[in-house]
Chain A
Amino acid sequence: MQVSKLLDLYGREGLSPGHSACQGCGATIAVRQVLLAAEPPYIVVSPTGCLEVISTPYPYTAWRVPWVHVAFENAAAVASGIEAALRVLERKGLGRRHKIIVIGGDGGTFDIGLQAISGAFERGHDLLYVCYDNEAYMNTGIQRSAATPIGSVTTTTPAGKRERKKDIVSILVSHGSPYVATASPHLWKDLANKVRKAQSIEGPTFLHIVAPCPRGWYYDSSLTIKIAKLAVETRVFPIYEVENGKYRINYLISRPRPVEEYLRLQSRFAYLLRPENAALLEEFKRWVEERWNQLLKLAAAFPP
């Protein structure tokens, strides 16, 4: 069922308050929205990361739904096990199938967990993998990950990252996933309906969500949604979906706002914006432009 208004989601909370997320945490907004949209019965699997640490300080848990964390690099493998085991238990009358939702950060997805994700997607398990992308290892104190964009300062890239962000969506499309999409928490309806759509499709599906982090991106905690919006409107984070290899750009940004509007609000880009680093800024802009143009070409070549 399509989500059209907020009352469609109200009262379906999967996360309780009282968790330890920072003020203005974008990841928890994204996760809340995913769970509000998700159709039961489901089980959530998380790799190690901010989400795991902020939600389950024993003897407490913020999870109002069944949840499991095993380690950092293996959430997709754990999810594979749950999915397959419930299939046989249902067959034997010893349990029932659940929908499986993996929710991990960019470290557990782009970097250390990629092998297990690749395995799970290649084997075709019926699960939804959600990556909340805050573009660095925030849990350990803001170290660069493969998701950190070019020019961003982290504690391990004190002079700004030199490499481009890994294109995780293309990697999963290449695995033959029937549904891979991006989303932003400011577009809650789009996000919610993408969760529903992904869950309705048999097989491994992927949702990549931009999750601004006030602590690691160095901005005022009240601006999380604003920054997510700017990421989309500057084409830094395009909102699109790939269904069976067919590309659809959900928010066609015909007149993008200047990238600087997005960068200026975040002190992680202060170094990038210095006059002497103009070349690095140009490279950032080139990255945004090339990716957008590539997306337009893909959407034209493989229309829905």
Chain B
Amino acid sequence: MYSLTSSRLMTGNEAVAYAVKQADVDFISAYPITPQTIIVERLSEYVSSGEVDAEFVPVESEHSALSACIGASLTGARVFTSTSSQGLALMHEVMYIASGLRCPIVMAVANRALSAPLNIHGDHSDIMGSRDSGWVLIFAENPQEVYDYIIQAFRLAEHPEVLLPVAVNLDGFTVSHSSEPVAVLEDAVVRSYLPRNPRPRLEYEEPSSFGVFALPSHYFEFKVEQERVLRRAGELVEEISRAYPNSHGRLVKLSKFNEDGRIAVICMGGTTGTVRHALKHHGLEDFSLISLKLFSPFPGKELLEALSEAEGVVVMDRATSPGAALPPLASNVAATLYEGGVSLPLLSVVYGLGGREPTLKMVLEMLDKAEERLRARGRAVSRMYLGYGGGVA
């Protein structure tokens, strides 16, 4: 049914731009920031060469980028932006408004560490700072997933039952700047996959007021409704991905590798590939890998199913939550286990901050120690910093 053109060698950033171009986007607004910049450079080229009929608004800050995107989205336009790190932090205020006003904006986040000290390299601290902003948060592992998820993100965001912004995350440099062959769909196939659904918009003949203020008598209901809709977006992932023309590229909430492994390793983003490689090529049959693609809404039900046979769980976070009980992914996993009445030993691993990429050797060492840590502490939580001080701390 689907038709693929020949593969193209693309970096993660180029895959984003190519998918956005094929999505027949109307409006792009962004501000340069490493490591996302190449996305907007490519899109500017597509706009200026006429390969995509869109307006590119080169704003004076990321705050204005997302603000312009909200304005554009409320006209009914298909809207895209991208950013990283400090840029995402500057957008923070506007992210809540984008979801509150139910704008189906798609954003690519080339994940990067937050200052200080300044660091341009990859980790997930930026997006985790906005994890409660009501966006759908997707993590891609490689340029192919980036391409497939960007296209599906538009379909999910603009679904009439959703109307929420979606962020597709790709690890800064390791995914954003690494080239891989990417199987791309024909333009026409992408277009027919992304129909234009009418939604409330700014129009003189139908004068509506957007962005009104709500007193305590109404605010709570809006926010609970938004949460319900975000959960609904999770339920609709299967529907929108089933319709995706390339069956190999369908967005899933999570994928499993080595299903029979007793100890589950949960990971998001580019590092998933390193872990999979370790399990595959080093005969680590005791371990399974759960690659989480959907972080928000958190797929608790699917995760519990995936963990039904597990005897222990290793959760890899590429961000810290200073002062919190656990880092973001681990805290979600722990809460899910608790809600499911499952008591499993959990090892929370923080890794890769500021671009300290976990090598295969580091991952193997981690897995080697993981079993011991999980057993030693019994049914409790233990912690590890992978790569800290040059090794496993």
B94 CB–A CB distance under 8 Å = yes
A77 touches B68 (CB 8 A): yes
A85 touches B27 (CB 8 A): yes
Query: Nearest chain-A residue to B54 (Cβ)?
Result: A88
Partner of B212, one of A58, A79, A91: A58
Query: Nearest chain-B residue to A79 (Cβ)?
Result: B71
Partner of A88, one of B55, B71, B196, B210: B55
| CA distance in complex: A43, B70 (Å) | 14
CB-defined contacts of B63 to chain A, threshold 8 Å: 73-74, 77, 116
A256 CB to nearest chain B CB (Å): 39
B117 CB–A CB distance under 8 Å = no
Given contacts A58-B214, A68-B74, A119-B64, contact A42 B57 (CB under 8 A): no
A68 touches B77 (CB 8 A): no
Query: Nearest chain-A residue to B206 (Cβ)?
Result: A66
Given contacts A66-B202, A116-B60, contact A92 B26 (CB under 8 A): yes
Partner of A57, one of B73, B205, B212: B212
A112 CB to nearest chain B CB (Å): 11
B207 touches A65 (CB 8 A): yes
Q: Most chain-B CB neighbours within 10 Å: which of A64, A80, A84?
A: A84
B72 CB–A CB distance under 8 Å = yes
B281 CB–A CB distance under 8 Å = no
CB-defined contacts of A69 to chain B, threshold 8 Å: 210-212
B213 touches A88 (CB 8 A): no
A142 CB–B CB distance under 8 Å = no
CB-defined contacts of A41 to chain B, threshold 8 Å: 203-205
Which residues of B172-199 have CB atoms within 8 Å of chain A's CB atoms?
196
Given contacts A70-B71, A88-B27, contact A98 B202 (CB under 8 A): yes
| CA distance in complex: A92, B27 (Å) | 12
Contact with B along A32-72 (1 / 0, CB 8 A): 00000000111101000000110111110101111111110
| CA distance in complex: A219, B198 (Å) | 49
**Residue total for B at the interface (Cβ-Cβ under 8 A):** 47
CB-defined contacts of B68 to chain A, threshold 8 Å: 77-78, 80-81, 84
A86 touches B57 (CB 8 A): no
Contact with B along A159-197 (1 / 0, CB 8 A): 000000000000000000000000000000000000000
B57 touches A80 (CB 8 A): yes
| CA distance in complex: A227, B93 (Å) | 38
A123 CB–B CB distance under 8 Å = yes
B95 CB to nearest chain A CB (Å): 11
A283 CB–B CB distance under 8 Å = no
| CA distance in complex: A53, B210 (Å) | 13
Query: Nearest chain-B residue to A99 (Cβ)?
Result: B204
A94 CB–B CB distance under 8 Å = yes
| CA distance in complex: A91, B27 (Å) | 12
| CA distance in complex: A173, B60 (Å) | 19
A125 CB to nearest chain B CB (Å): 8
Q: Most chain-B CB neighbours within 10 Å: which of A52, A82, A94?
A: A82
| CA distance in complex: A77, B94 (Å) | 12
A115 CB–B CB distance under 8 Å = yes
B218 CB–A CB distance under 8 Å = yes
Query: Nearest chain-B residue to A92 (Cβ)?
Result: B53
B222 CB to nearest chain A CB (Å): 8
B97 CB–A CB distance under 8 Å = yes
A221 CB–B CB distance under 8 Å = no
A280 CB to nearest chain B CB (Å): 37
CB-defined contacts of A57 to chain B, threshold 8 Å: 212-213, 215
B242 CB to nearest chain A CB (Å): 27
B22 CB to nearest chain A CB (Å): 16
B204 touches A86 (CB 8 A): no
A253 CB–B CB distance under 8 Å = no
Which residues of B63-105 have CB atoms within 8 Å of chain A's CB atoms?
63-65, 67-77, 79, 93-94, 97, 101
Nearest 6 pairs of A and B residues by beta carbon: A81-B71, A81-B68, A41-B204, A119-B60, A85-B72, A77-B64
Q: Which residues of A contact B (CB under 8 A)?
A: 40-43, 45, 52-53, 55-59, 61, 63-71, 73-74, 76-82, 84-89, 91-92, 94-95, 98, 115-116, 118-119, 122-123
